[in-house]
Amino acid sequence: MKKKEQRINEIYSFLQESPSLSVKDLSEMLNVSEMTIRRDLKYLKENNLLVRSHGIQLPVNDKSMITNIESEYTLHSEQTKFAKEKQMIGQFAASLIQPNDTIILDSGTTIAAMAYFIPEHINLNITCYNYYTLTQLFPKEGIQLTLAGGLLHKADQMFESSYANELIRSRRASKFFLAASGIHEALGITCAHNYEVLTKKAAMSSSLSTILVADSSKFGLVRSAFVAPLNSVDAIVTDSGITDEWKNIIQDMGIKLYIV
Protein backbone atom coordinates (compact mmCIF):
# COMPACT_ATOMS: atom_id res chain seq x y z
CA MET A 1 0.00 0.00 0.00
CA LYS A 2 1.19 3.48 -0.77
CA LYS A 3 2.32 5.72 2.04
CA LYS A 4 -0.45 7.81 3.53
CA GLU A 5 1.02 11.15 2.53
CA GLN A 6 1.40 10.19 -1.13
CA ARG A 7 -2.07 8.63 -1.25
CA ILE A 8 -3.69 11.74 0.26
CA ASN A 9 -1.84 13.90 -2.24
CA GLU A 10 -3.18 11.75 -5.10
CA ILE A 11 -6.74 11.82 -3.73
CA TYR A 12 -6.60 15.61 -3.59
CA SER A 13 -5.31 15.78 -7.18
CA PHE A 14 -8.01 13.41 -8.44
CA LEU A 15 -10.74 15.45 -6.75
CA GLN A 16 -9.41 18.66 -8.24
CA GLU A 17 -9.89 17.19 -11.70
CA SER A 18 -13.09 15.23 -10.96
CA PRO A 19 -14.95 16.35 -7.79
CA SER A 20 -17.75 13.84 -8.41
CA LEU A 21 -15.52 10.80 -7.86
CA SER A 22 -17.03 8.43 -5.31
CA VAL A 23 -15.33 6.60 -2.46
CA LYS A 24 -15.61 3.43 -4.53
CA ASP A 25 -14.00 5.13 -7.54
CA LEU A 26 -11.09 6.36 -5.47
CA SER A 27 -10.73 2.97 -3.82
CA GLU A 28 -10.39 1.26 -7.19
CA MET A 29 -8.04 3.91 -8.61
CA LEU A 30 -5.64 3.68 -5.65
CA ASN A 31 -6.09 -0.03 -4.92
CA VAL A 32 -6.96 0.46 -1.26
CA SER A 33 -10.08 -0.27 0.79
CA GLU A 34 -13.06 2.08 0.89
CA MET A 35 -12.52 2.40 4.65
CA THR A 36 -9.01 3.74 3.98
CA ILE A 37 -10.37 6.29 1.49
CA ARG A 38 -12.98 7.44 4.02
CA ARG A 39 -10.26 7.95 6.63
CA ASP A 40 -8.20 9.97 4.13
CA LEU A 41 -11.19 12.12 3.17
CA LYS A 42 -11.88 12.74 6.84
CA TYR A 43 -8.27 13.80 7.31
CA LEU A 44 -8.53 16.26 4.41
CA LYS A 45 -11.71 17.73 5.85
CA GLU A 46 -10.24 18.05 9.34
CA ASN A 47 -7.29 19.95 7.85
CA ASN A 48 -9.65 22.30 5.97
CA LEU A 49 -8.54 21.02 2.56
CA LEU A 50 -11.87 19.55 1.57
CA VAL A 51 -15.57 20.39 1.89
CA ARG A 52 -18.65 18.42 0.92
CA SER A 53 -21.34 20.16 -1.11
CA HIS A 54 -24.44 18.46 -2.55
CA GLY A 55 -22.81 15.06 -2.23
CA ILE A 56 -19.60 16.15 -4.01
CA GLN A 57 -16.13 16.42 -2.45
CA LEU A 58 -14.69 19.85 -3.29
CA PRO A 59 -11.05 20.83 -2.68
CA VAL A 60 -10.89 24.05 -0.68
CA ASN A 61 -9.75 27.05 -2.70
CA ASP A 62 -7.24 28.66 -0.33
CA LYS A 63 -3.49 29.11 -0.09
CA SER A 64 -3.05 25.47 0.96
CA MET A 65 -4.61 24.05 -2.20
CA ILE A 66 -2.49 22.10 -4.64
CA THR A 67 -1.28 24.53 -7.27
CA ASN A 68 0.29 23.73 -10.61
CA ILE A 69 2.96 26.39 -11.23
CA GLU A 70 4.85 24.45 -13.89
CA SER A 71 4.10 26.91 -16.70
CA GLU A 72 4.98 30.04 -14.68
CA TYR A 73 8.08 28.89 -12.80
CA THR A 74 11.44 30.18 -14.05
CA LEU A 75 14.75 30.42 -12.25
CA HIS A 76 14.97 34.16 -12.98
CA SER A 77 11.50 34.97 -11.65
CA GLU A 78 12.01 32.87 -8.51
CA GLN A 79 15.39 34.47 -7.73
CA THR A 80 13.68 37.82 -7.20
CA LYS A 81 11.28 36.44 -4.58
CA PHE A 82 12.51 36.50 -0.96
CA ALA A 83 16.01 37.13 -2.32
CA LYS A 84 17.42 38.36 1.01
CA GLU A 85 16.02 35.35 2.89
CA LYS A 86 17.40 32.93 0.29
CA GLN A 87 20.85 34.48 0.61
CA MET A 88 20.80 34.07 4.39
CA ILE A 89 19.48 30.53 4.18
CA GLY A 90 22.06 29.64 1.53
CA GLN A 91 24.92 31.09 3.57
CA PHE A 92 23.91 29.15 6.69
CA ALA A 93 23.32 25.92 4.75
CA ALA A 94 26.83 26.20 3.28
CA SER A 95 28.20 26.45 6.83
CA LEU A 96 26.85 22.94 7.50
CA ILE A 97 29.32 21.50 5.00
CA GLN A 98 32.41 19.92 6.57
CA PRO A 99 35.87 19.30 5.07
CA ASN A 100 35.98 16.12 2.94
CA ASP A 101 32.17 16.02 2.61
CA THR A 102 30.56 14.35 -0.36
CA ILE A 103 27.35 16.21 -1.12
CA ILE A 104 24.55 16.40 -3.67
CA LEU A 105 22.95 19.73 -4.50
CA ASP A 106 19.36 19.92 -5.71
CA SER A 107 18.07 22.34 -8.34
CA GLY A 108 16.48 25.58 -7.12
CA THR A 109 17.08 29.25 -6.39
CA THR A 110 17.91 28.76 -2.70
CA ILE A 111 20.41 26.04 -3.64
CA ALA A 112 21.92 28.40 -6.22
CA ALA A 113 22.30 31.03 -3.49
CA MET A 114 23.93 28.41 -1.29
CA ALA A 115 26.43 27.44 -4.01
CA TYR A 116 27.90 30.94 -3.92
CA PHE A 117 28.84 30.51 -0.24
CA ILE A 118 30.31 27.01 -0.43
CA PRO A 119 33.91 27.33 0.74
CA GLU A 120 36.98 26.44 -1.30
CA HIS A 121 40.03 24.36 -0.42
CA ILE A 122 38.32 21.91 1.94
CA ASN A 123 38.37 18.89 -0.40
CA LEU A 124 34.71 18.61 -1.35
CA ASN A 125 33.09 16.17 -3.76
CA ILE A 126 29.89 17.71 -5.15
CA THR A 127 27.29 16.29 -7.51
CA CYS A 128 24.82 18.74 -9.04
CA TYR A 129 22.34 18.88 -11.91
CA ASN A 130 21.62 22.57 -12.37
CA TYR A 131 23.44 24.78 -14.88
CA TYR A 132 23.40 27.94 -12.76
CA THR A 133 24.66 26.07 -9.70
CA LEU A 134 27.40 24.54 -11.84
CA THR A 135 28.59 28.00 -12.93
CA GLN A 136 28.76 29.10 -9.28
CA LEU A 137 30.88 26.10 -8.31
CA PHE A 138 33.13 25.81 -11.38
CA PRO A 139 35.65 28.56 -10.42
CA LYS A 140 36.11 27.28 -6.86
CA GLU A 141 39.36 25.51 -6.02
CA GLY A 142 39.46 22.21 -4.20
CA ILE A 143 36.04 20.98 -5.33
CA GLN A 144 35.65 17.82 -7.39
CA LEU A 145 32.53 18.32 -9.49
CA THR A 146 30.22 15.72 -11.01
CA LEU A 147 27.45 16.90 -13.32
CA ALA A 148 24.44 14.59 -13.62
CA GLY A 149 23.49 15.65 -17.13
CA GLY A 150 20.78 15.08 -19.69
CA LEU A 151 18.04 17.27 -21.09
CA LEU A 152 18.41 20.91 -20.00
CA HIS A 153 15.09 22.41 -18.89
CA LYS A 154 15.71 26.08 -19.61
CA ALA A 155 12.99 27.42 -17.30
CA ASP A 156 14.78 26.28 -14.15
CA GLN A 157 18.15 25.32 -15.72
CA MET A 158 17.89 21.76 -14.42
CA PHE A 159 19.51 18.80 -16.23
CA GLU A 160 17.34 15.68 -16.14
CA SER A 161 17.53 12.17 -17.58
CA SER A 162 17.12 8.54 -16.58
CA TYR A 163 20.87 7.92 -16.81
CA ALA A 164 21.52 10.97 -14.59
CA ASN A 165 19.24 9.43 -11.98
CA GLU A 166 21.11 6.14 -12.27
CA LEU A 167 24.37 8.00 -11.75
CA ILE A 168 23.01 9.67 -8.62
CA ARG A 169 21.69 6.37 -7.28
CA SER A 170 25.11 4.80 -7.79
CA ARG A 171 26.81 7.44 -5.63
CA ARG A 172 26.89 7.84 -1.86
CA ALA A 173 26.78 11.25 -0.20
CA SER A 174 27.02 12.50 3.36
CA LYS A 175 24.48 15.29 2.75
CA PHE A 176 21.80 16.11 0.19
CA PHE A 177 20.56 19.69 0.15
CA LEU A 178 16.95 19.56 -1.05
CA ALA A 179 14.80 22.38 -2.45
CA ALA A 180 10.99 22.53 -2.52
CA SER A 181 8.19 24.67 -3.91
CA GLY A 182 5.69 23.54 -1.29
CA ILE A 183 5.85 22.13 2.24
CA HIS A 184 2.72 20.77 3.93
CA GLU A 185 2.24 18.76 7.12
CA ALA A 186 -0.15 16.23 5.57
CA LEU A 187 0.71 16.38 1.87
CA GLY A 188 4.46 16.49 2.25
CA ILE A 189 7.20 18.05 0.15
CA THR A 190 6.17 19.07 -3.36
CA CYS A 191 7.80 20.74 -6.35
CA ALA A 192 6.87 22.66 -9.49
CA HIS A 193 7.69 20.08 -12.17
CA ASN A 194 7.01 16.36 -12.41
CA TYR A 195 10.41 15.78 -14.02
CA GLU A 196 12.14 16.87 -10.78
CA VAL A 197 10.65 14.10 -8.65
CA LEU A 198 12.72 11.05 -9.62
CA THR A 199 15.97 13.01 -9.42
CA LYS A 200 15.16 14.31 -5.94
CA LYS A 201 14.17 10.82 -4.80
CA ALA A 202 17.39 9.35 -6.21
CA ALA A 203 19.47 11.92 -4.31
CA MET A 204 17.56 11.32 -1.07
CA SER A 205 18.08 7.56 -1.30
CA SER A 206 21.83 8.02 -1.89
CA SER A 207 22.52 10.34 1.05
CA LEU A 208 23.07 9.79 4.76
CA SER A 209 21.08 12.93 5.56
CA THR A 210 18.69 15.20 3.70
CA ILE A 211 18.63 18.91 4.55
CA LEU A 212 15.66 20.88 3.24
CA VAL A 213 16.45 24.52 2.43
CA ALA A 214 13.40 26.72 1.86
CA ASP A 215 12.22 30.22 2.68
CA SER A 216 9.25 30.56 5.05
CA SER A 217 6.79 31.39 2.24
CA LYS A 218 6.91 27.73 1.12
CA PHE A 219 5.36 26.39 4.34
CA GLY A 220 1.66 25.60 4.00
CA LEU A 221 1.84 25.51 0.19
CA VAL A 222 1.18 22.41 -1.90
CA ARG A 223 2.34 22.02 -5.49
CA SER A 224 1.29 19.35 -7.95
CA ALA A 225 4.37 17.08 -7.96
CA PHE A 226 4.81 15.01 -4.78
CA VAL A 227 8.38 14.29 -3.68
CA ALA A 228 8.33 12.79 -0.18
CA PRO A 229 6.67 12.99 3.25
CA LEU A 230 7.92 15.88 5.36
CA ASN A 231 9.29 13.57 8.04
CA SER A 232 11.68 12.02 5.51
CA VAL A 233 14.10 14.95 5.91
CA ASP A 234 16.59 15.20 8.76
CA ALA A 235 16.89 18.99 9.00
CA ILE A 236 15.31 22.19 7.69
CA VAL A 237 16.96 25.56 7.15
CA THR A 238 14.57 28.51 6.82
CA ASP A 239 14.17 32.17 7.75
CA SER A 240 12.63 33.92 10.76
CA GLY A 241 9.29 34.33 9.00
CA ILE A 242 8.31 30.77 9.90
CA THR A 243 5.30 30.64 12.23
CA ASP A 244 5.22 29.19 15.73
CA GLU A 245 2.71 26.63 14.49
CA TRP A 246 5.21 25.36 11.94
CA LYS A 247 7.99 25.34 14.51
CA ASN A 248 5.87 23.02 16.66
CA ILE A 249 4.99 20.78 13.71
CA ILE A 250 8.65 20.36 12.78
CA GLN A 251 9.68 19.78 16.40
CA ASP A 252 6.97 17.14 16.85
CA MET A 253 8.31 15.30 13.78
CA GLY A 254 11.78 15.18 15.30
CA ILE A 255 13.32 17.26 12.51
CA LYS A 256 16.23 19.56 13.33
CA LEU A 257 15.23 23.18 12.60
CA TYR A 258 17.68 25.98 11.80
CA ILE A 259 16.24 29.51 11.65
CA VAL A 260 18.38 32.29 10.20
CATH code, 162: 3.40.50.1360
Instruction: Please indicate, yes or no, if residue 67 is contained in any of the structural domains.
Output: no
Instruction: Please indicate, yes or no, if residue 68 is contained in any of the structural domains.
Output: no
For residue 56, name the pLDDT band (cuts at 50, 70, 90).
very low
What's the domain count of the chain?
2
* Cα–Cα distance, 139 to 92 (Å, whole number): 21
User: Span 49-60, mean pLDDT?
Assistant: 50
pLDDT at residue number 53: 42
Same structural domain, 127 and 58: no
Alpha helices (runs of H) in 47-161, residue ranges in sequence order:
75-79, 83-95, 109-117, 131-137
Of 216 and 59, more confident: 216
pLDDT at residue number 111: 96
Which residue range is the domain that position 32 belongs to? 4-62
pLDDT at residue number 61: 47
Share of the chain above pLDDT 70, in %: 83
pLDDT at residue 24 greater than cutoff 90: no
Same structural domain, 55 and 11: yes
Same structural domain, 90 and 51: no
pLDDT at residue number 64: 42
Same structural domain, 120 and 177: yes
Same structural domain, 55 and 138: no
pLDDT at residue number 93: 98
For residue 186, name the pLDDT band (cuts at 50, 70, 90).
confident
The one-letter amino acid code at 255 reads I
pLDDT at residue number 5: 74
User: Span 167-191, mean pLDDT?
Assistant: 95
Which of 40-54, 138-152, 228-242 is predicted least confidently? 40-54
User: Span 32-53, mean pLDDT?
Assistant: 77
Q: Domain containing 30 — which CATH number?
A: 1.10.10.10
Same structural domain, 139 and 225: yes
**Across the chain, what does the average pLDDT equal?**
86
Same structural domain, 25 and 108: no
* Cα–Cα distance, 32 to 21 (Å, whole number): 15
Same structural domain, 112 and 32: no
Instruction: Please indicate, yes or no, if residue 178 is contained in any of the structural domains.
Output: yes
Same structural domain, 173 and 101: yes
Instruction: Please indicate, yes or no, if residue 70 is contained in any of the structural domains.
Output: no
Q: 137-146 contacts: CB < 8 A, separation 24 or more?
A: 143/118, 146/171
pLDDT at residue number 229: 93
Which of 6-10, 33-37, 99-103, 187-191 is predicted least confidently? 6-10
**What residue ranges in 123-249 does DSSP mark as E strands?**
124-128, 143-147, 151-153, 158-160, 173-178, 182-184, 188-191, 207-213, 222-223, 225-228, 235-238
Same structural domain, 157 and 29: no
User: Span 59-63, mean pLDDT?
Assistant: 44
Instruction: Please indicate, yes or no, if residue 69 is contained in any of the structural domains.
Output: no
Same structural domain, 154 and 83: yes
Same structural domain, 121 and 190: yes
User: Span 44-66, mean pLDDT?
Assistant: 53
